[in-house]
Amino acid sequence: MNLIEAKNLSLKIGRNPILSDLNFSVPDHSFFCILGPNGAGKSMLIKLILGLFEASAGSLKVFDQSPAQVPAEWVGYVPQIKTFDRSFPGLSTELVISGELGRWPARMTSAQRAKAREALKMVGAESLEDRSLHQLSGGELQRVFLARAFILPRRLLILDEPATGIDTLGEADLYSLLEEYGKRNSCNIIMITHDVDVARHHASHVLLLNHRQIQFSDRDSGLSEEQLERAFGHSQHHHA
């Protein structure tokens, strides 16, 4: 079974081409990075994988079926925290349990609280259980979103720039958590990043993207400096 299979995949919104002629195949049990500069169409590819948009041309399969057919409980999604309204009046536990319910809980049972607490413990955030979301730092909020994704045993975890707003130490801890969760649950990871070093060190497969497919590689073949320069406009793209 393949995790993702794209054949001549293209997406237009109105007359604007967003993604053009993508062709790649990612096997099951992978850590797949979608790498490229800002505005390259990475998030739109994720929306196609989630079934939120339909391709304008070509085909896309997730677990050998159309994205719309993939059961919702198989997939955990961690958005960019900068898109989240930090003034939203809610508690960490409520956000976590919404990952199981698929909606915000009107009330929480003691069993749900215990389940949310266990998920927070998995990401080292049990102390945040009764904290309001607006009180959390960027790193703390990211951990709560991870706990939300971890609340069910997933087959696929999708993360959009998960290290944004997290310090270097917290970033290293984040990637360790992801790799541990993936191995323990036989869960695939798909992660958007613009950090070449992260893709090189953690991914089993990398799609280098800038509206078009620049390069698709596995861990053995690696990313070429020539292709990185095509995508980013320079050959080295490092972050502190």
Fill in the amino acid letter for 124: G
User: Could you give phi then psi for residue 129, rounded to 5 degrees?
Assistant: -50, -50
What lies within 8 Å, CB to CB, of 107 at 6+ separation is none
Domain assignment of residue 117, yes or no: no
Domain assignment of residue 138, yes or no: no
In whole angstroms, how large is the CA radius of gyration of the chain? 18
Domain assignment of residue 78, yes or no: yes
Dihedral-angle region of residue 160 (phi above 0 means left; psi in -120 to 50 means alpha; beta otherwise):
beta
Cα–Cα nearest to 153, from 196, 116, 100: 100
pLDDT for res 172: 73
Q: Is the pLDDT of residue 82 over 70?
A: no
Q: Is the pLDDT of residue 240 over 50?
A: no
In tens, the pLDDT along 138-178 reads 888 888 988 998 899 899 999 998 876 665 556 777 888 88
Specify whether the CB–CB gap between 105 and 112 falls below 8 A.
Answer: yes
For the ranges 49-58, 67-76, 79-88, 107-116, which has the lowest average pLDDT?
Answer: 79-88
Domain assignment of residue 46, yes or no: yes
Domain of 24 in residue numbering reads as 2-86+153-232
Domain assignment of residue 44, yes or no: yes
Domain assignment of residue 101, yes or no: no
Full-model pTM: 0.87
Q: Is 60 exposed, middle or buried (0-12, 13-18, 19+ CB in 10 A)?
A: buried
Q: What is the CATH number of the domain that holds 17?
A: 3.40.50.300
Domain assignment of residue 224, yes or no: yes
Domain assignment of residue 92, yes or no: no
In tens, the pLDDT along 17-42 reads 999 999 999 999 999 999 999 999 99
Provide the token pair at 58: 């070509």
Q: Is the pLDDT of residue 137 over 90?
A: no
pLDDT for res 237: 47
What lies within 8 Å, CB to CB, of 10 at 6+ separation is 17, 19, 20, 21, 22, 55, 56, 57, 58
Q: How many domains does the chain have?
A: 1
